[in-house]
């Protein structure tokens, strides 16, 4: 029987010209499915339908339908299906240049003109009109910049140039440092880590990836599918206007828009990749890509980060400068992974017979035999550090792994040892993750000590791999879920797992519910849902209830060994009065779990109503990066008090700002009467009259209606004038003082000569 597939005529007509970018998926049949449509094109259709996790096929109508986010009362937002920046801004009534850039009257080349680059740290203000969750997300985004680059931020203290984060309509920014203070909007639904990073990158001087000069070599823009009046969002820049900093086109950039941006038909994309595998990658909103970080560090000439002290995956023979202890009686050894036996964690599941780790053999020797592996000397900037590493103890349960710190003893010598934490063996011989908080303010080393604990012969040892040391707080809690692929295979929609009960720094009990295939109320398939709930605990009688103004943060760890390249999936919401118990409008779900929750014998506690995301992450995304390395899923749940961020706005020094003159592209385009064809290349001819700078004596050039105008430097005693600041003049008051001083000196000298003459 010949299979039949009904496809909407309009889609197929357009599809005839859109199918060349799709990669084939094998369809076994001997007859054409539709007259005039080849197997290849039908294969293209099917592949694209199933590679785009945000698309489904309605088999009643045969139409390709892009899933629109649906939010249940128990959902904080639509999770991975949440709307992206273009849709958020259009819904807010904004038609900004390229979707989220507010232009100034003078077009500035922020990438090439270094005068518009920021000096660090960047002063910032969190306006009081921001949502509380947005404030928390912005501060977390700052930490990502500090971890992966030399970019830094500081609270505003009267500086002339700064960024004020506000809640206006939508998500938008200006490009580069305008040197007068500038707004950056994190509006409704913009309070998400990757969106905040995207807007800050604009402020740092970066444009969208799809506006690169060589864009058309890598993606196809379907101009006839772009909504009328939105063509300006797809213009490219000439390479004398922007620079790619000698980096390749980045499909994975957080600055790239997704396939369905500004489309007039929700079923047909406007951007597609010429390498089909990237069709469901462009527009990712996890975190910076590797190339994003490379460009940022090149642009600002970063040689180190602010908060990354050390990391090592032991793949090189120098083992990252670590040294063997001199007071022990054994050594650690760099070993190569053996599949099925002692596998390396860095490349586990990726390459056979590859990858290295550090190993202390407890199979031989006497009880108490020890080996010490020490880091190089490190110089902290903060007073708290987090040591994260993977380890497993495959020998006796009596074997021990001890973490030490060797500090400066006050004389400049790093010799003073302090024990921090001890790990012991158990029946679980698999890789585990560990977090150890260090509190060191002076130069130091950290060290791993292996101790043989069993007098008998064992068949294993202690393994350590994928170390990172950052000057950030350690996760408050870790939920380690093993054999996740098997969980997916043996569960259906609505099945769930409860995490253990965790305690926040304040003492609140809380937990996480994992739905491998999503909640029953969700209409979506192939998504994992994750929700947060409170648990009754030992501190409930002394805590503040309801627990409002707390931020719940759930993060799925990307187990990429290089911490700078990790793209973990993180989502958050803030508890508020609006989140009431279902059917009980006068009771908050953040009240005591004893009141709002149900008893769970597994934790001997009450678990409250949950709140979170039914589409937290797609199964495809889970398998795209290293979320499931070794089939392990790690979730970091946090519950933090943000009450201190309710009032954050500070008064600013009055300075003339050209923010009010920001031009929305639609108005500008209407005035200039530029059609879509001209819009395609309208920025190619932009020149910067201030590049090179015509002003002398450190004068600042300002673009005024396309012509250079010099703003001359003035000091306390003199100032420069002239069209190019070429002439120097002395202030009248200073000149008067100088003349008066000279005249006084002459009179005094004459008086002295007269006195001497009388003698």
Which range among 57-66, 196-205, 409-418 shows the weakest confidence by mean pLDDT? 57-66
Q: What architecture (CATH level 2) is domain 479-645?
A: Sandwich (2.60)
Mean of pLDDT values over 505-509 = 98
pLDDT at 73 over 90: no
More confident residue, 659 or 610: 610
CATH class of 83-299: alpha beta
> With contact defined as beta carbons under 8 Å apart, do 578 and 555 qualify?
no
Predicted confidence at residue 458, as pLDDT, reads 77
Q: What is the pTM of this model?
A: 0.78
Q: Shortest CA distance to 534 belongs to which of 644, 640, 604, 639? A: 639
Three-state DSSP at 3 gives: coil
d(CA 493, CA 623): 19
> With contact defined as beta carbons under 8 Å apart, do 570 and 638 qualify?
no
Predicted confidence at residue 345, as pLDDT, reads 74
User: Where does 282-384 show beta strands of DSSP type E?
Assistant: 308-312, 323-324, 333-336, 356-361, 370-374
**pLDDT digits over 428-487, tens only?**
999 999 999 999 999 999 999 999 998 877 789 999 999 999 999 999 999 999 999 999
Fold of 308-470: Jelly Rolls (2.60.120)
Which range among 21-30, 162-171, 699-708 shows the weakest confidence by mean pLDDT? 21-30
> With contact defined as beta carbons under 8 Å apart, do 148 and 209 qualify?
no
Sign of CA dihedral 724, 725, 726, 732: positive
d(CA 620, CA 90): 28
| 371, burial (CB in 10 Å: exposed 0-12, middle 13-18, buried 19+) | buried
Strand 432-438 and strand 718-721: pairing? unpaired
Binding residues: 100, 198, 202, 208
d(CA 106, CA 686): 11
CATH hierarchy code of domain 689-759 = 2.10.25
What is the number of other CB atoms lying within 10 angstroms of the CB of residue 8?
Answer: 16
Which range among 44-48, 414-418, 631-635, 640-644 shows the weakest confidence by mean pLDDT? 44-48
Count of H helices and E strands in the chain?
Answer: 12, 37
> With contact defined as beta carbons under 8 Å apart, do 309 and 381 qualify?
no
* Structural domain boundaries in the chain: 1-45, 83-299, 308-470, 479-645, 689-759
**pLDDT digits over 679-735, tens only?**
333 333 334 566 566 666 666 666 655 667 676 654 433 445 666 665 555 444 444
Strand 163-166 and strand 122-126: pairing? parallel
> Annotated catalytic, 159?
no
Predicted confidence at residue 704, as pLDDT, reads 56
Confidence of residue 239 (pLDDT cuts 50, 70, 90): confident
Confidence of residue 745 (pLDDT cuts 50, 70, 90): low
More confident residue, 757 or 528: 528
> With contact defined as beta carbons under 8 Å apart, do 193 and 288 qualify?
no
Strand 182-186 and strand 163-166: pairing? parallel
Residue tagged active-site, from 80, 199, 231, 294: 199
Predicted confidence at residue 673, as pLDDT, reads 38
**pLDDT digits over 321-348, tens only?**
999 998 888 999 999 986 555 666 776 6
Confidence of residue 114 (pLDDT cuts 50, 70, 90): confident
Binding residues for Zn(2+): 100, 198, 202, 208
> With contact defined as beta carbons under 8 Å apart, do 160 and 112 qualify?
no
d(CA 759, CA 746): 20
More confident residue, 60 or 643: 643
Per-residue 3-state assignment (H helix, E strand, C coil) for 88-115: HHHHCCCCCECCCECECCCCCCCCCCHH
Predicted confidence at residue 675, as pLDDT, reads 40
Predicted confidence at residue 106, as pLDDT, reads 57
pLDDT at 102 over 80: yes
Which range among 139-153, 231-245, 418-432, 479-493 shows the weakest confidence by mean pLDDT? 231-245
Measured distance between the N- and C-terminal CA atoms of the chain, rounded to whole angstroms: 135
Q: In whole numbers, what is the pLDDT of the chain averaged over residues? A: 82
* Distances 226 to 330, 634, 659, 677 between C-alpha atoms, Å: 68, 40, 29, 12
> With contact defined as beta carbons under 8 Å apart, do 173 and 199 qualify?
yes
pLDDT at 157 over 90: yes
Predicted confidence at residue 328, as pLDDT, reads 85
Strand 153-155 and strand 122-126: pairing? parallel
More confident residue, 67 or 7: 67
More confident residue, 745 or 567: 567
The 10 Å CB-count burial string (b at 16+, else e) for 9-39 is eebbebbeebbebbeeeeeeeeeebeeebee
> With contact defined as beta carbons under 8 Å apart, do 332 and 312 qualify?
no
Predicted confidence at residue 294, as pLDDT, reads 96
Strand 219-221 and strand 271-273: pairing? antiparallel
Share of the chain above pLDDT 90, in %: 65
> With contact defined as beta carbons under 8 Å apart, do 401 and 422 qualify?
yes
Which range among 5-9, 393-397, 406-410, 612-616 shows the weakest confidence by mean pLDDT? 5-9
pLDDT at 107 over 80: no
Degrees to nearest 5, angle at CA 118 with 116 and 121: 170
Mean of pLDDT values over 113-137 = 95
More confident residue, 36 or 728: 728
Q: CB-based contacts of 757: which residues, under 8 Å, 6+ apart?
A: none
**Residue carrying the six token digits 């015509």:** 694
Q: Shortest CA distance to 257 belongs to which of 230, 228, 238, 239? A: 230
Confidence of residue 354 (pLDDT cuts 50, 70, 90): low
Report, in angstroms and rounded to the nearest whole number, the Rg of the chain calculated over CA atoms.
Answer: 31
Backbone torsions φ then ψ of 200, nearest 5 degrees: -65, -35
pLDDT at 530 over 50: yes
> With contact defined as beta carbons under 8 Å apart, do 303 and 272 qualify?
no
pLDDT at 422 over 70: yes
């Amino acid at each position: 029987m010949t299979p039949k597939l009904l496809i909407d005529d309009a889609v197929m007509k357009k599809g005839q010209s859109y199918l060349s970018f799709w990669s084939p998926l094998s369809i076994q049949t001997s007859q054409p499915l539709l007259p005039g449509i080849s197997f290849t094109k039908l294969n293209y259709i099917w592949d694209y339908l199933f590679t785009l996790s945000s698309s489904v096929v309605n088999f009643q109508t045969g139409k390709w339908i892009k899933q629109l986010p649906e939010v249940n009362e128990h959902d904080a937002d639509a999770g991975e299906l949440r709307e992206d920046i273009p849709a958020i801004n259009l819904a807010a009534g904004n038609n900004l240049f390229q979707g989220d850039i507010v232009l100034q009257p003078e077009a500035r080349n922020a990438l090439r003109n270094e005068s518009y680059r920021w000096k660090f740290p960047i002063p910032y203000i969190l306006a009081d009109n921001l949502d509380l969750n947005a404030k928390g997300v912005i501060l977390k985004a700052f930490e990502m910049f500090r971890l992966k680059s030399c970019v830094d931020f500081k609270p505003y203290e009267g500086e002339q140039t700064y960024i004020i984060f506000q809640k206006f309509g939508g998500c938008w920014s200006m490009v580069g440092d305008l040197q007068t203070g500038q707004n950056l909007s994190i509006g409704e639904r913009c309070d998400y880590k990757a969106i905040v990073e995207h807007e800050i990158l604009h402020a740092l001087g970066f444009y969208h990836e799809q506006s690169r000069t060589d864009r058309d070599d890598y993606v196809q823009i379907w101009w006839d599918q772009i909504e009328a009046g939105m063509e300006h969002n797809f213009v490219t820049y000439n390479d004398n206007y922007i620079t790619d900093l000698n980096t390749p086109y980045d499909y994975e950039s957080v600055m790239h828009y997704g396939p369905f941006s500004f489309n007039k038909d929700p079923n047909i994309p406007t951007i597609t990749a010429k390498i089909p595998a990237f069709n469901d990658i462009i527009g990712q909103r996890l975190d910076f890509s590797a190339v994003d970080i490379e460009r940022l560090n090149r642009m600002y000439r970063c040689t180190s980060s602010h908060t990354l002290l050390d990391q090592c995956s032991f793949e090189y023979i120098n083992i990252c400068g670590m040294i063997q202890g001199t007071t022990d009686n054994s050594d650690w050894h760099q070993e190569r992974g053996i599949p099925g036996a002692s596998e390396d964690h860095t490349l586990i599941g990726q390459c056979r017979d590859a990858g290295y780790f550090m190993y202390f053999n407890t199979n031989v020797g006497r009880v108490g035999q020890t080996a010490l592996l020490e880091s190089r000397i490190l110089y902290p900037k903060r007073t708290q550090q987090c040591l994260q590493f993977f380890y497993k103890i495959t020998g006796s349960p009596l074997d021990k792994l001890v973490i030490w710190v060797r500090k400066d003893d006050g004389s400049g010598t790093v010799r003073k040892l302090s024990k921090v934490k001890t790990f012991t063996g158990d029946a679980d011989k698999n890789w585990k993750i560990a977090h150890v908080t260090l509190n060191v303010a002076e130069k130091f080393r950290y060290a791993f000590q292996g101790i043989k604990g069993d007098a008998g012969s064992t068949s294993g040892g202690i393994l350590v791999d994928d170390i990172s040391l950052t000057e950030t707080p350690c996760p408050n809690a870790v939920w380690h879920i093993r054999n996740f692929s098997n969980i997916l295979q043996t569960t259906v929609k609505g099945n769930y797992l409860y995490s253990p009960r965790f305690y926040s720094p304040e003492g609140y009990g809380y937990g996480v519910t994992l739905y491998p295939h999503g909640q029953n109320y969700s209409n979506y398939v192939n998504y994992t849902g994750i929700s947060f709930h409170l648990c009754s605990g030992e501190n409930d009688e002394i805590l503040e209830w309801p627990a409002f103004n707390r931020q719940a943060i759930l993060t799925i760890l990307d187990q990429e060994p290089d911490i700078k390249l990790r793209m973990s999936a993180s989502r958050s919401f803030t508890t508020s009065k609006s989140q009431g118990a279902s059917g009980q409008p006068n009771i908050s779900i953040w009240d005591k779990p004893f009141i709002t929750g149900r008893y769970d014998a597994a934790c001997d506690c009450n678990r409250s109503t949950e709140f979170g995301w039914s589409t937290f992450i797609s199964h495809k995304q889970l398998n795209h990066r290293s979320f499931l390395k070794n089939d392990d899923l790690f979730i970091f749940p946090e519950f933090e008090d943000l009450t201190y961020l309710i009032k954050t706005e500070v008064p600013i020094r009055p300075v003339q700002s050209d923010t009010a003159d920001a031009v929305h592209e639609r108005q500008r385009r209407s005035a200039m009467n530029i059609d879509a064809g001209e819009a395609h290349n309208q920025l190619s001819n932009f020149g910067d009259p201030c590049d090179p700078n015509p002003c002398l004596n450190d004068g600042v050039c300002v673009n005024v209606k396309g012509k250079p105008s010099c703003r001359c430097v003035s000091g306390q005693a003199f100032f420069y004038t002239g069209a190019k600041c070429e002439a120097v003049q002395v202030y009248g008051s200073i000149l008067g003082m100088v003349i008066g001083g000279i005249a006084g000196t002459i009179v005094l000298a004459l008086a002295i000569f007269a006195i001497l003459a009388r003698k």
